Structure formats: structure tokens, C-alpha cells
Structure 1
Amino acid sequence: MSDFVPTSFMNLPSSLKHLGLRFCNLKGKFPTEIFQFRYLEYVDLSFNSLTGYLPSSNWSSHLKYIDLNDNQFRGSIPASIGNLTKTTFLDLSNNEFQGQLPSSLFSLKQLTDLVLSDNSLEGFLPTHVRGFQDLKVLCLSNNLLTGAIPSWPFTLPSLEKLDLSGNRLSGPINQIQKPNSVQKVDLGYNEIHGEIPSSFFDLVNLTELDLSSNNFKGVINSVMFSKLENLLTLDLSSNSFSGVIKLDVLSKLKKLGELNLSNNTLLSWSSDSGSNTTFQELDTLYFSSCNVRQFPNFLRSAKKLRILDLSNNSIQGSIFKWESEGWEQLIVLNLSYNSLTGLEHFPGKNLKFLDLRSNLLHNLPPTPLPPSLQGFWISNNNLTGKIPPSICTLTSLDVLDMSRNYLGGVIPACLGNFSHEILNINLQMNKFRGKIPDFCVDDNALVNLALNDNQLEGLLPRSLSNCTSLKFLNLANNKLSDTFPHWLGVLPDLQVLILRLNNFQGPLSISNDTKPSFSSLQIADLSQNKFTGLLPTTFFQNLDALKHAISKHKSMFQEAWENLGLSQHLALDYYGQISLDVTTKGSDIELEYKRSLPIFSGIDFSSNKFYGKIPDVIGELHAIHMLNLSHNNFIGHIPPSLGKLVELESLDLSSNKLSGRIPSQLTNLTFLAVLNFSDNNLVGPIPHGNQFDTFENDSYHGNLGLCGFPLTKQCDNGDEPKPHASKFKEDEGSPISFLWQLVMMGYGCGAVLGLSTGYIVFTTGRPWWFVRM
């Protein structure tokens, strides 16, 4: 069933008692009147795409069960909801409700389940409630609730689960007078501060406790947890807890399976405790950014440990075989950002994800990598020698990152086809030489390939055209000699192509294939090569992805390994647009690739030998942020069509042979923060208005025929430019006027400098001021 006609629901008999339409792919506006059917008792519309509102009055007095989860209902929750005196189950989660929580909601005495998560509800929780005597589940997570957390949720006699996470709740938690038997409490991702009240630890039936990402402080001591012997999961991460953790603090938690103390920078681990203590049930341990200096002794006896995160600490020396002998069940190990110098063997036979980034490792152990490995990160170390042949036996590998080391020799031929599952290969910034091996001879899922900043030479392997899933290709700063790889234009998803600093030569030829070439390309960097000839109009006409505004995603430079763990997600944004989720289902752990787009788009054809006129068609690339055609041999006028590049933030046409006047249409580029027209043959008055009033002399240096602000050379009266008519009326109180006040203060330049610097770091691994020194 799908796409129903909403009015057809009004043909339902008014005697209807039960309406169950869960997972029916329904769309459209749901009639409010149905909630008012006199005899209606049960409504389940969950997991559809319905819109609509809740009735302000005349609810069916017989309603017992209402589930609207995962739809698009909107508006406020009416006060009339307090008339549902027989309702036991109410789930309005994952909708678009907003406004205050009605006080009448908290007087319902029959409710057992109240779930309002993932809306935009705001306001305070009441200090007291009259109902909820039978309430078992209270979930108000991921809303906009503010104020202090009252004590009544912890005293409700039947409550089993409390979830207030993801709000803006603040203040300290008060002492609890009569603690109840609640089993699961999640207060994470709020703004709660102060110490955990001692009475909180009288909630002796707790099995799951999450206080993460708040502002709690104080010392963690053994008294706090001595009564919580039923605890299975404890998350105190990202707070301001202090002191030294001794193992006896947690030694009574015999059932504890998951412990997360990460990102408490004032916390440290006692190295002289726990030699005889065991955690028989410990499955997951996060202890990142906690000043750990050596491996805790108890880990040797953690026989069930599956996930271990000790990243961002100060662990030194080597990992010896005896230290990890008990980790047979380990599937995720994160030791990144430490000071490890050696690795005697790879821990765990079932390891799937191993992160050793940013240590001081000199070599890999002689033992083979675990064949089960799906993700292997060992970048930014001191590795030397060649890539071990055992890498090519990892047929399940999804991600291989050995970048920023001192590895050399020839890239093994097997690396191009050893795994049909491989998504990402990052070998940038090493000392590899020789030819690039064939990639994608057989079908595979390769998405990102970074081989830049090595000493690779020869031709590009034509087999790359078989990498039909490829989105990111960086071959910059090598010794490659070839013509423009027009045959890569057949790749339907290629978004980033970086060939900078090589020996490519010849014209920018385009494939004769009838299909558009490079239709998904958003970043093209061909700079510092020996390309020559005219810029073909067809190339730019095919760039469909640059003709429409790009939605901006979170930074692709964000570090990996966030929220690593069971039932959580792992976001990995490596050298491209990969976004991966690590999830677990039962005993299995899965890696899921998610598509995303670059946050930056640009064309850099600088420092080549292109000649002729700049094609007018470039003005159709409305989504481009950066255009650099400098240090070539272009002639003729600057195309006025460039004034249509409304997203442009950086324009460099310097060191060419351009002539004529600067088009006044360029003043329409209201995001432009970097402009360089220096060393050309431009003449006439410099346009003024908008961003052109912010640029300095350096933007126009070497054009003897230019005049007007900011140059000292004045124009003749007949040459004074007329202000270019703007399509925006900028009155004093308009957002446009305010924007330009900020730009005049230098705000705009700073914003784009960050964006441009991000692009350069993205492509080179170095800030721009180091690139050309």
C-alpha cells in the first residue's frame, strides 16, 4: 500500500476500533478527524511519511494505544491530550512536533509508555507530576528541553527506562529522596554540571547508566559504585571527572560489559592496581584521552573483550605478545595517537579494525596480519621498507591507510586487485617509486585512491577506467608522464581528480564517447604540469555537478574513529568523502559505506601552457567555489559571464596576457574574498562596489593600464566606472547590508581563507604557506 488519497480515509466506518497501518509506505496528510472516531481504541501509523496535526479537542475517549513514530506530523501537542485517560501507550517520536510540553500530559494515570523523542519540543520539565504511577518507559530524548532535571523521574514506582539525552538540560542533579527501581538511565549530551549526588547510587537496579557529554565533575571513588552490582553498561565519557582511577573502584561490577571513561582529561589510571583483578564479562572498554601511560594489567585477563579504545594517551614502548595474549575475541583495537615504538605481533585472531595511526612505529611485526581484518590504519608513523606481501592476503579489507610514512620500493602489483571489498587505499606521502600497478582489473568497490606525494613514474594504468565506483583520485606530486586521462571521464561518480605537480602534457582532449565526460566532477586540479592548447568548451559543458549548488556536509578533514563501539557509529572521513558506519548485529560487526559530497568545489589549471581565450561557458558553473587559471598564456578579455559564478570565493587569473577592461559584472560575486588579476595587460577603471571595495593593490599589480581605487593612479573623468546595478536592494536594515558590514570588517576574507586553506591541506597535506616555499 502506498500513496493513498487522504479523503478516502473518511470513508472508514465511525465504529472503527482498530487501525493498524505500520510500515505501509503511506504519504500525504492524515485526517485529524479519525482521532475523534467515537469507538477508536488502537492507532498505529508508525514508519510512514504521513503529515498532519493532533486534534485540539474531542479525542476518542476509548483510545488506549497511539503510535505515530517516524512520520512528519507537526504542530504542538495540544492540552487536550490530557483527556486521554485510558491511554496506556503514546509514541509521537521522530516527527516534527514543537512547542511546550502541555502540563496536562503529566497527569495521565494509565500511561505505561511515553515516547516523545526526536522532535523539537521545548520548555521545562514540571517540578512535580500527578500521574505516571504506572509509567515504565519515559523517553524525551533529542528535543530542546531546558532547565534542571527534577527528582520525580527517579521516584516513579514503576519506571524501568528513562531517556532524557540530547537536550539542553542543565543545573546539578538534586538528591533523590526515595529512589525507584529504574534499570536504564540516559542523561547524555546535555549541560548538566556539578557532582553526581550520592543518592543517585541508591538506584540499585540500574543495568545501564549514561551520563556522557555533560559537565559533571568530582572524583570517581569506590563508594560511588559499590551498590550498583547489576550494572552492565557505564558511560561517563566527555565530562570533567578527575583523580586517579584505581581498579577497586570498579571491581565489584562483576556483570559490567561496557565501560566508557574517555575524554575526561583530568582523569588518570593507576598503574599499580588491578594485578589480580579480572573483568570476566567486559566486552567493550573506551579509555581514550585519559592520560594512560601503559596497558592496564587487567586487560590480560579480559577474555571476552571485543572493543578496546586507548587512543589519545601517552602509552610508550612496544606491545609485547604476552600483553595481548588474552585478546582472542578482540575485533576492534584503537591505539592511535600514542607513542608506541614497536609491535611484537598483531593482537587477536579475529581482529577486524586496527588503528595504529600517529605513533612512532618503525616496522610491522613479522607475523601476518589477521585475515579477518577489514580496516587497517597505520598512517603517520616511521615505517620504512616495503609493503609486506601479507597485505594482499586480506581479502576482506575495506580500508588501507599507510600514508605519511617512509615506505619505499614498488607498490605491489597485487594491491590493485587483492580485495573485491576494498573502498579506500591511501599511500600518500611515502617514497614509493616505479609505475602505478593496475587497479580494478576485476570488479571491485574502490571509492578513494590517494597515491600523491611519492616518486611514481610512467603512464597512468588504463585499468583505472574500470573502477566504476571511484569518487576520489589523488596522484599529485609524482613524476608521472602522460597525456590528459580523458578516459577517466567514463567513471560516473568521479568527484575529485588531482594530477597536480607531474609531467602531464598535451591538450585537454575529451573522449569521443557520446556520454558526457566527468559529469560528477567537483574538484579538478591539473596545476603545475605541461598541458597546452585551447581549453575545450565541451569539457566545461559536461561538468553537470558544478552547475548546481552543492549542499555542504560536515568537514571531510574530521578525524576518524568517533563514537567507536557496539550499537554506535564510526564516522571515518579520510582523504576524501568516505563516511562509514560500524555497527554490530549479534556477534557480527559490519562496515557500511555512505555516500556524501565534497564541501568544496574548484578548478585549478594554473602553471601550465594553456593559451587562447577563456571560454564563456565557464560562467555556467554556478556551484564552483574556486577558479585558478593563473600562470598560463591566455589572451583576450575576461569573460563577463564569470559574474554568474555566484558561489565563487577565490578567482585567480594572474600572470597571463589578458587585455581589456575588468567586467563590471564581477561585482555580483558577493562571496568573493580572494582576487588576483596581477601581471596581465588589463586597462581602464577598476569596478567598485561590493567585494571589489575590499581588495588591495596586490590584486592588480603589473597592469599598467588600470586606474581607480585601490590604485594611486586616478582615472580620467570619462573612464570613471559606473556602479554596476545590483539585483539586491540593500537598505540599511537588510541582511545583505549587514553582511557587507561584516565583509568590510574582514569577516568574509577570514571565512574563505579557512575554506581555501582546507582545500590545500586536503590536496597536499600541508597548509598553503608551506607548499611553494
Structure 2
Amino acid sequence: MSLGDRFCITNVVLVFFVQLKISDFGNGLYHHWECSKNSFTGSIPQEISKCKQLQTLDLSQNKFSGVIPNDITGNKSICNLEKILTLKLSNNALTGEIPHCVGNIELITLFLQSNKLNGTIPANFSKLCDSLMYLDLSDNQLEGVLPKSLSKCQSLELLNVGNNRLRDKFPSWLDNLPRLQVFSVRFNAFYGPITSSPKVNHPFPMLQIIDLSNNKFCGKLPRRYIKNFATMRNMNESGVGNPQYLGDSVSPYSMVLTFNGLQQKYEKLIVTMSTFDISNNNFTGQIPYVIGGLHSLRNLNLSHNVLTGNIPPSIAKLSLLQDLDLSSNRLTGRIPQELVSLTFLGSFNVSNNLLEGSIPHGFNFDTYTANSYQGNLELCGKPLPECGERRAKGTTNNQDDPKNDNERMLSMSEIVVMGFGSGVLVGLAWGYYMFSVGKPFWFIKLASKMESILIGFF
């Protein structure tokens, strides 16, 4: 170890009062420094930039505040860690901007989620993209757009920028990434329709978790993407014994997903997790029939949009589906009886639509509560009132009530009186006109007699 590296480690240890985790101690080299899940406070010391041999820096889940060291002129920037491969500063209270020089570091993992970072995402990922596999910038206050330089990150497996203030169109230029497994832009201000790039024959071939929820997307559902999600259609589950997780032992995937209307934080995601969530947008049109081809899908959330038409029976082909939420749309027709075959379906919600007819029964459908169906006035059958009972009640209220008959008779008599009244007014007017212009006496007399008869009648 050089004298400079010894000085670096000594200074940093004195600042943090912490025992370093040393890899390759036998060779006398400090490559990995992990101080996560503690209660360290204050700012990250700039002296850390002198640790030239550092490959892993994990200060996540502490209480660090202030900015990420970025004093380029004083040679005290985080970007001076020339050999750094894993940089984890997540779950702290860091502020300021992401140093734009990180685009020049050949990182594999960059985790900055759950801080208070603002500004824009660095636009230049030219060097970073050669090796970058995991990029998580979620739960910050970042603005602007997704940099198109990310399309060069051919090794990227995880891209999570959810819960920020990004405003952009759907990044269709990402669909050529051959290894992207997890993509989340939830809770931002993305807008417009989702269109695919015609130059890519098999878009998003490895994608198995996509979360576009709580944005401003519109237009029809992306039928071409749905048809080509290869991993969601046929995930290789052979040889899966003990729980295995996405990512690796050093950088497992961690993210928030929504199931059954509830947000849940997953510290690790099992390799068979497959989610398609586009809820809380402005999508219109029908649910495409090809959605039934996503045979490996576990969670499907299309709720809170403006979808119309029938529920496609092809959803019954999603035999592994565990969570299905179609609530708060404008879906019509019946609930397909075929859905009863979804024996793994633990959560089902079609509330607040325009569905009608009887609710299917059998298997898990006998366990769903009335909350799964509320807001569909024409649905009937358990757990809602039976169909025959509802119709009988409607008949009694509308046809067999004597009070209603009296009201109808009264309305007819009022109409007749109004007709006679109108005739009287017309007759009096004509009589006055004939008299005033001096018409024959016999006509005036006849009109006067008719007037007396009508007045007497009323």
C-alpha cells in the first residue's frame, strides 16, 4: 500500500470512528469499505476522494447530510475514485445535485435513491455506460428528462427513477437494451402516448418488471410492447429451488411496488417476479387481447385509467397471476367466467366500472369481498345481492306501488285541464277580436254563449 493510501484510510477512519471492513487484508490493500446501516451523521468527508484504490464505497442507510463531495478545483471530488465500481449513498439526507462527473467513472452500481437530491440527471454517460448494470435514483427531487445517453448502456439491468419530478415522453429509445429487467418511472410527470421504435424487432426482450404508474401517459395500451415482452411471455423457471433474487449478492434489487392498492417496499425481488403496472394514467381504448400471452405475469395493474370495452377472456391464460386490478375504468359487459381458472389469484378488483350480470363463482372467486365489485350498479350475485332479488326489488319500486299509479293519474288530469284552459283563452281572444271589428251580431252572440258554457264547466 502506498503512503498516500495509508494516509487516506487513517484520515477517514478518524472522521467516522468506524472499523473498516477489509478485503484482501493479506495483501495489505483496502478495496472495499462498507459502513451501511449505522447512524453516522454530518457530511461525507472530502478526504475520501484520496482513496485511489477504493472499489466499493457503501455509506447507505445512515444519516449523512450535505452535498456529495464535488470540489473539482480542490481535487476533492467523489469522481477522483478512479477504480470505484460500486457507489452506494442511498437512504441518507444528501442534498444538492448529482456530480455530473460520475458519467466519466466506469461504475457497475450507482445507488443514490432515497435522498433529497435535486437538479437534473447527468447527461453524459459515455464511460459509465460501458459497465453500468444497476442505476437507482428513485425517491429524490430530480427534474428534467432522462438522458438519451442511457441508450448506450448495453449492460444495464435495473433503471429506477421513480418518485421524482421528471417530465418527459416515454423513452422508447431504451427498448433496444438487451439486458434491462426492471424499469420504473412511477410517480413522475411523464406524458403522451407510448410508442415503440420501428427499428427494433424485439423491444425490451428481458424486461419483467415495468412500472409506469402515476404519470400522465395517454392513448391506447402499447400493444406491440405487450406482444413482444419475451420474458413476461415465457420466463425460464427451471431449476428454481431456494429463493433466488434479481441482481447479485452485492447489489440486490430493492424497490416499491403496488399490490392490491397498497405500496409495498421489497428489499429483494425474487427472480420470478413479473409486474406490469400502468395504473393512474389516462390510457383509453380496450384492453388488447394479446395481454393473455404474458404467461409468466404475476401482477397486472391497469386501474384508474379510462379503459373501455369488455374484460378480455384471454386474461384467464395468465395462470400464474396473483394480483389483478382493473378498477376505476369504464369497462362494460360481464366478468368472464374463464377467470375462475386463475387459482393463484389472491387479489381481484374490478370496482367502479360499468360491468353487469352475475359474478362468477368457484375457487378463489368465492373468497373475494364486495369491495372487489362495488360501484358496478348492474353486477349481482354473491357477495352482492342475488340477481333475482335485485330485479324483484326494482319491479316493486317501479310498477306495483299504488302511490305511483295515483301520481300518474293526477298527471293526466293536469294535462287535460291545461288543454281546456288553452282553448278558453283562444276562444275569448277570438270573441274579443270579432266584436271589436264589428262582425255580425249572431256570431258575437254564439261566441258569448260558448264562453259561458266553458266558464261554467271549469
Sort the TM-score into its range (normalised by shorter chain): 0.7 to 0.9
Q: Which runs of 4+ in 1 moved over 4 A?
A: 321-325, 715-718
Against the structure 1 CA distance between its residues 463 and 700, is the aligned structure 2 distance closer, same or farther, given a 3 Å change threshold?
same
How far the C-alpha of 1:713 sits from its partner, in A, is 3.5
Across the two proteins, how many residue pairs are aligned to each other? 354
The answer to whether 1:656 aligns with 2:329 is: yes
**1:448·1:576 contact (CA, 8 Å) conserved in 2?**
no
CA distance in structure 2 between the aligned counterparts of 1:505 and 1:394, rounded to whole angstroms: 38
The answer to whether 1:541 aligns with 2:222 is: no
Determine which structure has more spread, i.e. the larger CA radius of gyration: 2
Q: 2:252 aligns with which of 558, 563, 574?
A: 574
Which residue pairs with 2:279 in the alignment? Answer: 606
The answer to whether 1:410 aligns with 2:97 is: yes
**Which is richer in strand?**
1
Letter in 2 for 1:399: T
CA distance in structure 2 between the aligned counterparts of 1:322 and 1:376, rounded to whole angstroms: 14
Letter in 2 for 1:436: I
CA distance in structure 2 between the aligned counterparts of 1:715 and 1:555, rounded to whole angstroms: 51
The answer to whether 1:668 aligns with 2:357 is: no
Which residue pairs with 1:302 in the alignment? Answer: none
How far the C-alpha of 1:385 sits from its partner, in A, is 1.2
Against the structure 1 CA distance between its residues 715 and 400, is the aligned structure 2 distance closer, same or farther, given a 3 Å change threshold?
farther
Q: What secondary structure does 1:455 align onto? A: coil
Which residue pairs with 2:408 in the alignment? Answer: none
**2:142·2:166 contact (CA, 8 Å) conserved in 1?**
yes
CA distance in structure 1 between the aligned counterparts of 2:208 and 2:274, rounded to whole angstroms: 5
Which residue pairs with 1:377 in the alignment? Answer: 58
Counterparts of 1:25-64 in structure 2, within 5 Å, are none
TM-superposition CA deviations, 1:577-623 (whole Å, max 9, x none): 9xxxxxxxxxxxxxxxxxx9733111000000000000110000000
The answer to whether 1:320 aligns with 2:14 is: yes
Letter in 2 for 1:619: G
What are the ranges of 5 or more consecutive residues in structure 2 without an aligned counterpart?
Answer: 1-11, 71-76, 256-268, 392-458
How far the C-alpha of 1:441 sits from its partner, in A, is 1.2
Against the structure 1 CA distance between its residues 360 and 540, is the aligned structure 2 distance closer, same or farther, given a 3 Å change threshold?
same
Against the structure 1 CA distance between its residues 543 and 439, is the aligned structure 2 distance closer, same or farther, given a 3 Å change threshold?
farther
The answer to whether 1:554 aligns with 2:243 is: yes
**1:556·1:573 contact (CA, 8 Å) conserved in 2?**
no
| Root mean square deviation of aligned Cα | 2.8
**2:184·2:210 contact (CA, 8 Å) conserved in 1?**
yes
Q: What secondary structure does 2:300 align onto? A: strand
Against the structure 1 CA distance between its residues 548 and 641, is the aligned structure 2 distance closer, same or farther, given a 3 Å change threshold?
same
Q: What secondary structure does 1:666 align onto? A: helix
Against the structure 1 CA distance between its residues 445 and 597, is the aligned structure 2 distance closer, same or farther, given a 3 Å change threshold?
farther
Letter in 1 for 2:98: I
Between 671-680 and 410-419, the greater mean CA deviation after superposition: 410-419
Which residue pairs with 2:355 in the alignment? Answer: 682
Which residue pairs with 1:392 in the alignment? Answer: 79
Q: 1:361 aligns with which of 37, 40, 58?
A: 40
TM-superposition CA deviations, 1:142-187 (whole Å, max 9, x none): xxxxxxxxxxxxxxxxxxxxxxxxxxxxxxxxxxxxxxxxxxxxxx
CA distance in structure 1 between the aligned counterparts of 2:270 and 2:325, rounded to whole angstroms: 25
Q: What secondary structure does 1:490 align onto? A: coil
Q: What secondary structure does 1:627 align onto? A: strand
Which residue pairs with 2:154 in the alignment? Answer: 468
CA distance in structure 2 between the aligned counterparts of 1:320 and 1:376, rounded to whole angstroms: 17
CA distance in structure 1 between the aligned counterparts of 2:105 and 2:390, rounded to whole angstroms: 71
Which residue pairs with 1:446 in the alignment? Answer: 132
Against the structure 1 CA distance between its residues 717 and 706, is the aligned structure 2 distance closer, same or farther, given a 3 Å change threshold?
closer
Instruction: Using the aligned pairs only, state the percent identity.
Output: 42
CA distance in structure 2 between the aligned counterparts of 1:611 and 1:492, rounded to whole angstroms: 29
Which residue pairs with 2:439 in the alignment? Answer: none
Against the structure 1 CA distance between its residues 323 and 651, is the aligned structure 2 distance closer, same or farther, given a 3 Å change threshold?
closer
CA distance in structure 2 between the aligned counterparts of 1:665 and 1:655, rounded to whole angstroms: 22
Against the structure 1 CA distance between its residues 383 and 322, is the aligned structure 2 distance closer, same or farther, given a 3 Å change threshold?
closer
TM-score (normalised: structure 2)? 0.72
The answer to whether 1:617 aligns with 2:290 is: yes
**1:474·1:499 contact (CA, 8 Å) conserved in 2?**
yes
The answer to whether 1:433 aligns with 2:118 is: yes
Against the structure 1 CA distance between its residues 415 and 706, is the aligned structure 2 distance closer, same or farther, given a 3 Å change threshold?
same
CA distance in structure 1 between the aligned counterparts of 2:315 and 2:156, rounded to whole angstroms: 30
Against the structure 1 CA distance between its residues 364 and 710, is the aligned structure 2 distance closer, same or farther, given a 3 Å change threshold?
same
CA distance in structure 2 between the aligned counterparts of 1:395 and 1:453, rounded to whole angstroms: 27
How far the C-alpha of 1:668 sits from its partner, in A, is 1.1
What are the ranges of 5 or more consecutive residues in structure 1 without an aligned counterpart?
Answer: 1-317, 334-347, 561-570, 578-595, 719-773
Higher relative contact order (CA 8 A, sep 6+): 2
CA distance in structure 2 between the aligned counterparts of 1:576 and 1:468, rounded to whole angstroms: 21
How far the C-alpha of 1:627 sits from its partner, in A, is 0.2
Which residue pairs with 1:283 in the alignment? Answer: none
Counterparts of 1:92-491 in structure 2, within 5 Å, are 319-320=13-14, 330-331=22-23, 350-362=29-41, 363-369=43-49, 370-389=51-70, 390-419=77-106, 422-442=107-127, 443-491=129-177
The answer to whether 1:509 aligns with 2:195 is: yes
TM-score (normalised: structure 1)? 0.44
CA distance in structure 2 between the aligned counterparts of 1:387 and 1:350, rounded to whole angstroms: 25
Against the structure 1 CA distance between its residues 708 and 687, is the aligned structure 2 distance closer, same or farther, given a 3 Å change threshold?
same
Counterparts of 1:709-728 in structure 2, within 5 Å, are 709-715=382-388
Which residue pairs with 1:641 in the alignment? Answer: 314
How far the C-alpha of 1:330 sits from its partner, in A, is 4.4
Q: What secondary structure does 1:642 align onto? A: helix
Which residue pairs with 1:136 in the alignment? Answer: none
How far the C-alpha of 1:573 sits from its partner, in A, is 4.2
Q: What secondary structure does 1:698 align onto? A: helix
CA distance in structure 2 between the aligned counterparts of 1:404 and 1:488, rounded to whole angstroms: 27
How far the C-alpha of 1:696 sits from its partner, in A, is 0.8
**1:472·1:576 contact (CA, 8 Å) conserved in 2?**
no
Against the structure 1 CA distance between its residues 418 and 642, is the aligned structure 2 distance closer, same or farther, given a 3 Å change threshold?
same
Letter in 1 for 2:35: L
TM-superposition CA deviations, 1:454-500 (whole Å, max 9, x none): 00011110000000000111100000000001110010011110000
Q: What secondary structure does 1:692 align onto? A: helix
TM-superposition CA deviations, 1:327-359 (whole Å, max 9, x none): 9x94369xxxxxxxxxxxxxx983111110011
**1:446·1:470 contact (CA, 8 Å) conserved in 2?**
yes
Which residue pairs with 1:123 in the alignment? Answer: none
The answer to whether 1:520 aligns with 2:209 is: no
**2:300·2:325 contact (CA, 8 Å) conserved in 1?**
yes
